[in-house]
Structure 1
Amino acid sequence: MVDARNHARPALPETMMIKTRMAACVAVCAIASCGAAHAQSNMTKQQSSSKPLAEQNYLRFGTSERNVTIAPFIQFDIGSADADPYGAFGTDLDRDTDFRRARIYASFDYDAFGGLLTVDFANDDAPLTYLFVNYDITDELTVQLGQQDEPFSLEDMIGSRSETFAEAGLNAALVPANNVGAALIYGTDHYSLSGGVFFADLNHDDLGRNGTGVTGRATFAPIATDDEVIHFGLGMTYRDGFDNTTSYGGGSGSYLVKPTPISTGTFADPGRYFATNFEFAAERGRFSLQSEFTVAEQDDGMRGDSTLYGGYVFAAAFLTDDTRPYSAASGSFGKVDPTSSFFEGGTGAVQVGARLSFLDLDDAGGSAGREVAVSGVANWYLSSQIRVTGDVTHTEVTSGPRDDSSIDAAVLRLSYIY
């Protein structure tokens, strides 16, 4: 997280000016490459897949069966926040800028084998996002080994490149992070099954000290067409054998806001962790609805069992003739590809949405709490690679040490998603 800025500091310190110039350079390069890529895609769309993919993607080298791909992903945030009462979170909140993500995805395919390495240069604490290899046993079944997403939550599986809002719902505090593990992934035209055994994060020196987890997810889409989707999902995770302490905390709707509105505090002697996640999503043409509810139980030798809850529901609609693509085989939604690119004389895709989210940590003790957040978002997808997001979130603390306090956060984000 980035430290919240004090009002007494200059409005644009030197580091902010440097980041702003970097963002401008990124935007110019992105727009230029985006226009070229779209022009190229029009010429190669009908070509056979046996043609070298370098003709279709400037950063992919090889054929459809054997290739290496480099894909940059950059998100730059300009944001501001305020608290009520003033100073309720121990520090003043002000305008700030930072790179939310600055990732390089490097992937390969070699017949039935594949793999991915993802490094995030904007995340000093956990720069290694993914590092895995996989093998397609059949067209429907894949085995995957390495640092990867634990298959538990729809929003987590959608990922940061295709997310609708600037930040995940408040229940993300209860969702397992990326971890090293071995997983089996099975998908068909209407359902998916995935699960595996997972350990700790490769970014941390305490590898193996967070115990062993078993996580699985099943999804079913009785309707899955280009214009209509009905999606149900269930995820479960169980972890035991902790050697480390652990804790859970809420969010405020913006990466730029450092203070945590509510927190369980430290579980000093953590035992088993068990969580269940329920998913529902629906899409009809331009309109979409998505929701999740997570319930978790954390055991602790010092304070016993704590039951924690979280969830969200959001509704979104495109003002243009666009939709979110859905894959029943993975049980998730993909990146929006506008029907008309702004760089080819069109309007791009315009989407608006609203979300209600909550997190209840009260059962962890008097130092925890509850919070509720309401978010509004507007997304302008200029092309499949360039996106501008405006996100505002009002977060109310309804229980705990900061009861009756609130945070208002606003974010303007520029994304370049190759």
Structure 2
Amino acid sequence: MTTYPARRLALPALALLSAFALPAGAAARDGIEADEDGLTVSTGDVEFNLGGRIHLDASVFEHGLDEGSEVDFRRARLQFSARVGDVVRVRVDREFAQADGWRNVWIALRPVEGVELKGGNQIVPFSMEDMASSNSLTLAERSLANTFAPAFGLGGSVRYSHDNFTLAAGYFTDALADEVGQSRVRGDGFAVRATFAPVRKRKTWVHLGAAYESRSFDPAEPPRFTVVSASSLAPRLLRTGGIDGASDLQAYNAEFAAARGPVSVQAQYIATRIERTGLDPLDFSGWYGQASWMVTGERYRYSRRSGMPTGARIGRKGGAIELAARYSEADLDDPGLDRGRASVLTLGATWYLDRNVRVLANYARTETSDSLLTPDASGDLGVVRFQIAF
């Protein structure tokens, strides 16, 4: 059983109290309102919001010789945002659970319709799964392919969206902090992502996307890749450690998603090449395929502005049920640095009590193989999450 340091519990507790301090939808004087979106203060065209998220996980796992159980906060985050009309937005997020540190710390400008300029610590525009909010993930953890996604980066970006098309690009350096399974060290370079939705109707949409990333590394700060299991509380499935001699990275992403009413499917493939000084390059990759069904009939949404799925639309009264399945693989098996392959089959059920509260239950079958360092292994994992977002 995990012991929770006071530092990790104090602010999540404060956030939880703020979420329930006023009844949902209750409006106070002077433009102060507390509802499902947190605490909002409005003055004319200026709006300030204080919110957060709490994801509490309980996991039981067994993989090869590793087995055990754990209870801990996966996320305990406070987030502050502000906007001036539709032109200026500011956001600051601080994470207090597991890999604690700063997340979103940026300012964005929308000088004209369809164009956004953003500077600061932000999600790199590369992968739709990586860019998706953790509050709306279908399963408790992202897929094994997310091992190769860049997560956050410190830099500047521009995004253009029009009808069914988006194009985003930016230049980034290392992020302000690590994320679970993703090192803040990603080097210096750029990323570009384009999406197209050939079908986009109220109940039916189809999404296609592609992205490219190029980075260069400081020899003193080599990249590393860690394959997280179906629960962040379980032991890691694979690790590269710091990759000596790494000089450059090129990564490619292809993505597909579609939904018709309460049924959604999506898939991604990410390939990464690491160039090394005086050594052969390394080629790693990952992919996943996923399907989900809102048993209670809610439809899946799509963001035209961001060019990505955004989860199911949950009514105020809630009571929604979702079932999902995903198969994913990560391949770190290269002759120059053999760290093996991993695969995970995950089945999940989610109960949405309302827009802000949900309970997830996942079962996963894990496999690792082809590593010269560790024997082949398989195992089972179960994780339950209680989640509040406000």
Q: TM-score, normalised by structure 2?
A: 0.89
- In 2, Cα distance between equivalents of 1:32 and 1:405: 45
Which of 237, 255, 258 is matched with 2:232 structurally?
255
Which residue of structure 1 aligns with residue 137 of structure 2? 163
Q: What are the ranges of 5 or more consecutive residues in structure 2 without an aligned counterpart?
A: 179-183
Residue 226, structure 1, aligned to residue 202, structure 2: yes
- In 2, Cα distance between equivalents of 1:193 and 1:186: 5
CA 1:298–1:371: 2 relative to 1, 3 Å: same
Residue 353, structure 1, aligned to residue 324, structure 2: yes
**Worse-matched range after superposition: 24-33 or 163-172:** 24-33
Q: Displacement of 1:182 after TM fit? A: 0.5
Map residues 173-188 of structure 1 onto 2, 5 A cutoff: 173-188=147-162
Residue 274, structure 1, aligned to residue 245, structure 2: no
Q: Displacement of 1:54 after TM fit? A: 3.0
Map residues 19-58 of structure 1 onto 2, 5 A cutoff: 36-37=23-24, 52=31, 54=33
Map residues 328-347 of structure 1 onto 2, 5 A cutoff: 328-339=304-315, 341-342=317-318
Which residue of structure 2 aligns with residue 404 of structure 1? 376
What secondary structure sits across from 1:95 in the alignment? Answer: strand
Q: Read off the aligned partner of 2:83 and give its amino acid letter.
A: D
Which residue of structure 2 aligns with residue 96 of structure 1? 70
Q: Read off the aligned partner of 2:315 and give its amino acid letter.
A: T
Which residue of structure 2 aligns with residue 118 of structure 1? 93
Q: Displacement of 1:331 after TM fit? A: 1.0
- In 2, Cα distance between equivalents of 1:173 and 1:226: 33
- In 2, Cα distance between equivalents of 1:336 and 1:364: 42
CA 1:360–1:64: 2 relative to 1, 3 Å: farther
What secondary structure sits across from 2:280 in the alignment? Answer: coil
Q: Displacement of 1:93 after TM fit? A: 2.1
CA 1:55–1:175: 2 relative to 1, 3 Å: closer
- In 1, Cα distance between equivalents of 2:355 and 2:334: 44
**Worse-matched range after superposition: 279-288 or 399-408:** 399-408
- In 2, Cα distance between equivalents of 1:216 and 1:261: 30
CA 1:28–1:117: 2 relative to 1, 3 Å: closer
Which of 54, 58, 76 is matched with 1:74 structurally?
54
Q: For the Cα contact (< 8 Å) 2:38–2:51, is it kept in 1?
A: no
- In 2, Cα distance between equivalents of 1:261 and 1:303: 26
- In 2, Cα distance between equivalents of 1:66 and 1:131: 19
CA 1:176–1:363: 2 relative to 1, 3 Å: same
Residue 284, structure 1, aligned to residue 263, structure 2: no
Q: For the Cα contact (< 8 Å) 2:32–2:39, is it kept in 1?
A: no
Aligned residue pairs total 380
Q: Displacement of 1:308 after TM fit? A: 0.8
What secondary structure sits across from 1:297 in the alignment? Answer: strand
What secondary structure sits across from 1:268 in the alignment? Answer: coil
What secondary structure sits across from 2:135 in the alignment? Answer: coil
Q: For the Cα contact (< 8 Å) 2:262–2:294, is it kept in 1?
A: yes
CA 1:31–1:58: 2 relative to 1, 3 Å: closer
Residue 298, structure 1, aligned to residue 278, structure 2: no
Identical counterparts, % of pairs: 26
Post-superposition Cα deviations, 1:205-232, rounded to whole Å, max 9, x if no partner, equal xxx9853110011110111122001000
Residue 417, structure 1, aligned to residue 389, structure 2: yes
Report the RMSD for the aligned CA atoms in angstroms: 3.0
- In 1, Cα distance between equivalents of 2:258 and 2:375: 35
Q: For the Cα contact (< 8 Å) 2:281–2:336, is it kept in 1?
A: no
What secondary structure sits across from 1:361 in the alignment? Answer: strand
What secondary structure sits across from 1:155 in the alignment? Answer: helix
Greater share of residues in helix: 1
Q: Read off the aligned partner of 1:396 and give its amino acid letter.
A: E
Q: Read off the aligned partner of 1:54 and give its amino acid letter.
A: E
Q: Read off the aligned partner of 1:380 and give its amino acid letter.
A: W
CA 1:302–1:377: 2 relative to 1, 3 Å: farther
CA 1:151–1:365: 2 relative to 1, 3 Å: same
Which residue of structure 2 aligns with residue 108 of structure 1? 82
Which of 292, 307, 330 is matched with 2:283 structurally?
307
What secondary structure sits across from 2:51 in the alignment? Answer: strand
Q: Read off the aligned partner of 1:388 and give its amino acid letter.
A: V
Q: For the Cα contact (< 8 Å) 1:265–1:368, is it kept in 2?
A: no
Q: Read off the aligned partner of 2:230 and give its amino acid letter.
A: G
Which of 362, 365, 379 is matched with 2:333 structurally?
362
Which residue of structure 2 aligns with residue 376 of structure 1? 347
Q: What are the ranges of 5 or more consecutive residues in structure 1 without an aligned counterpart?
A: 1-11, 42-50, 343-347
Which residue of structure 1 aligns with residue 181 of structure 2? none
Q: For the Cα contact (< 8 Å) 2:352–2:358, is it kept in 1?
A: yes
Q: Read off the aligned partner of 2:33 and give its amino acid letter.
A: A
Q: Displacement of 1:337 after TM fit? A: 3.8
Greater share of residues in strand: 2
CA 1:328–1:338: 2 relative to 1, 3 Å: same
Q: Read off the aligned partner of 1:115 and give its amino acid letter.
A: V
Q: Displacement of 1:288 after TM fit? A: 0.1
CA 1:134–1:406: 2 relative to 1, 3 Å: same
- In 1, Cα distance between equivalents of 2:61 and 2:262: 31
Which of 187, 192, 196 is matched with 1:216 structurally?
192
Q: TM-score, normalised by structure 1?
A: 0.83
Which of 189, 192, 199 is matched with 2:166 structurally?
192
